[in-house]
Structure 1
Amino acid sequence: MNIKDLQYFLAVADLEHFGQAAEQCFVSQPTLSGQIKKLEEQLGVVLFERTNRRVMLTETGSQIATYARRVMSEIESIQEIAESSRDPLAGKFRLGAFPTLATYVFPDIVTKVKKVMPKLRLILIEDKTLFLMDKLRHGEIDAALLALPVHDDYMVSQELFEDEFCLAVAPDHKLASRDTVDQKCLKKHKLLLLEEGHCLRDQSLEICERQGLAEEQDFRATGLETLRQMVKAGTGITFMPKIAIQENEAGIKYIPFTEPVPKRTIGLVWRKTSARKDVMEKLVEALQVVSDH
């Protein structure tokens, strides 16, 4: 068994098609099929169920695929370590961020990182916090932009900036005439929130619990832009992170809160065992510039 065998095996497992897998691996289909057959003979098991219409993993094949992915991930890590040792600020770097942040910071991050680390190949991943933490633990990403604090003994974090919340209301809402708003005056109102799994929802719910606010139960948005449009439509009011506020936006008013201002702390999170410390330092510098901008 060699690395090529595992690459061929995983390609077929992912694509469920020998022809497409062969194209992806830049080999002929007979070559790929032959190597898969040899691998099955070597292991003494059947890895795939083959029919005229589809190819799919057997139960044993599925179990083996799990370990094969781990092996390939470790091999990739070895290659990355070797590459970064030759040039610590080069190679591939996978950075994650949760949806209510990624949309607004990723474009600036790409520009800033290219200036300070031109040889670094930045790969950006947008996902919910729970999944980003899981990817971090399993080495599928190198770092993530998350709301602090993060409670994990295997992680280290660096605070980057604080993102204050404003109250978003429609222009004809009775609160729209205010220049500032106190959280306590919202008790008679229901807030529009994101669906389960978004950290912004959890942050908003914490504020609601402290102030005795209620959530609008009949609607939960899948994303921040949907939430914005629902406010414009007069469906309700919501908390909007300052980083997501657009200047001179029609059909909506953002009202700053009086002290204490609700906010979230954004930080860079990575594994304590990461070999990319030099990149982390440069990245923190670049991200702090992004937040100032």
Structure 2
Amino acid sequence: MDRLVAEDLEAFAVFAAHRNFTHAAGELHVSQPALHTRIRKLEQRLGKALYTRHGRQLRLTETGEQLAAFANDTRRRAEAFLTTLDLAPRRPLVLAAGSGAYLYLLGDAIRRYVGKGHQLRLITTDAAATVAAIRDGSADVGVTALGIPPDDLECELLAQYPQVLVVRPSHRLAGRRSVRLKDLDGEALVVPPKTRPHRRALERALLDQGVRWSVAVEAEGWDLLVQFVRLGIGPAVVNGSVRTTSAVRTVPVKDLPPVRYYLITRRDRPDDQPLDALKRMLL
């Protein structure tokens, strides 16, 4: 591989990690036009598009994901070889996960891993971005909730939680051992924004059951949903991993599926002792 190709691969790996020309150019210490030109030449050399635009977002094509994975694997192997010769420090592992996973699921494992002297870089992503980061190699390991795990990645069940209804102690359903969706008929619910996967899944389930409901308020993040319940705005359906206080009650919802969190890695990833150690702590 000649020097120009190696530099192009490094540039594309950084671009794939950011999916943003401004941020990638800043990390590479080059101008945005220079980075645009370098990636355009890569596309011309391969004869295929490496990314597409969706509004303000940039998404890698299938070829882009494959090239990013190759570039990241090449970089890791080079770093691992140089590390064995004491010529380069080891790159920290990259963990991709959502805010809920960091808040309620991963804290102890991360603390133990870092406490043993390992380096770890954390990035916050939603489920789709977590899967994409593992595929293109910009993250080494991911933790996210998935309905159906993708076949092309190694997905190990990490934990599962019921979906629960959060209500104030004075609410008519607070004393129940469990509820069904039909018990929510006529309620004004605290829900995430329409773009969030939990909102879409909940709306489909309520529609299937013929439940009439309305939006009390839209809120981003489990903690804020619970806070609005505490303030008396309305009940909310949340992931059972969410920690609550005595100011509210949680009641399992029987006809909603559990939320399953998976630990995700690439199947073709070479053996890596720090990664194995992190996986053991997470599992």
TM over 0.5: yes
Q: What is residue 266 of structure 1 aligned with on the other side?
A: 261
Gaps of at least 5 residues in structure 1 are: 26-31, 37-47, 49-54, 289-293
Q: Relative to 1, partners in 2 of residues 1:236 and 1:114: Cα closer, same or farther, differing over 3 Å?
A: same
Q: What is residue 43 of structure 1 aligned with on the other side?
A: none
Report the AA paired with residue 177 of structure 2. Answer: T
Q: What is residue 63 of structure 1 aligned with on the other side?
A: 40
SS at match of 1:111: helix
SS at match of 1:140: coil
RMSD, matched Cα: 4.1
Q: Equivalents in 1 of 2:234, 2:201: separation in Å?
A: 18
Q: Relative to 1, partners in 2 of residues 1:123 and 1:230: Cα closer, same or farther, differing over 3 Å?
A: same
Deviation per CA, 1:138-169, whole angstroms, max 9, x where unpaired?
11111211224444232111112211222112
Residues 84, 276 of structure 1: 8 Å contact kept:
no
Q: Relative to 1, partners in 2 of residues 1:103 and 1:256: Cα closer, same or farther, differing over 3 Å?
A: same
Tell me which moved more, 206-215 or 185-194. Answer: 206-215
SS at match of 2:241: helix
SS at match of 1:77: helix
Q: What is residue 133 of structure 2 aligned with on the other side?
A: 135
Q: What is residue 180 of structure 1 aligned with on the other side?
A: 177
Q: TM-score, with normalisation over the residues of structure 1?
A: 0.66
Deviation per CA, 1:205-248, whole angstroms, max 9, x where unpaired?
45434543355346432222222222223222111223222344
Q: Equivalents in 2 of 1:214, 1:261: separation in Å?
A: 17
SS at match of 2:119: strand
Q: Give 2:252's match in structure 1, choosing from 245, 249, 257.
A: 257
SS at match of 1:243: coil
SS at match of 1:134: helix
Q: Equivalents in 1 of 2:142, 2:9: separation in Å?
A: 29
Q: What is residue 92 of structure 2 aligned with on the other side?
A: 92
Q: What is residue 235 of structure 1 aligned with on the other side?
A: 233
Equivalences, count? 248
Q: Relative to 1, partners in 2 of residues 1:73 and 1:91: Cα closer, same or farther, differing over 3 Å?
A: closer
Report the AA paired with residue 181 of structure 1. Answer: S
Q: Equivalents in 2 of 1:229, 1:271: separation in Å?
A: 38
Q: Equivalents in 1 of 2:231, 2:184: separation in Å?
A: 19
Residues 221, 227 of structure 1: 8 Å contact kept:
yes
| Mapping of residues 175-254 of structure 1, within 5 Å | 175-176=173-174, 178-183=175-180, 184-205=182-203, 207-214=205-212, 216-217=214-215, 219-248=217-246, 250=247, 253-254=248-249
SS at match of 2:92: strand
Q: Equivalents in 2 of 1:15, 1:131: separation in Å?
A: 17
| Mapping of residues 41-190 of structure 1, within 5 Å | 56-57=33-34, 60=37, 63-64=40-41, 70=68, 73-82=72-81, 91-114=91-114, 118-176=116-174, 178-183=175-180, 184-190=182-188
Return the index of the structure with the highest Cα Rg: 1
Residues 193, 216 of structure 1: 8 Å contact kept:
no
Q: TM-score, with normalisation over the residues of structure 2?
A: 0.68
Q: Relative to 1, partners in 2 of residues 1:5 and 1:261: Cα closer, same or farther, differing over 3 Å?
A: closer
SS at match of 1:159: strand
Residues 147, 266 of structure 1: 8 Å contact kept:
yes
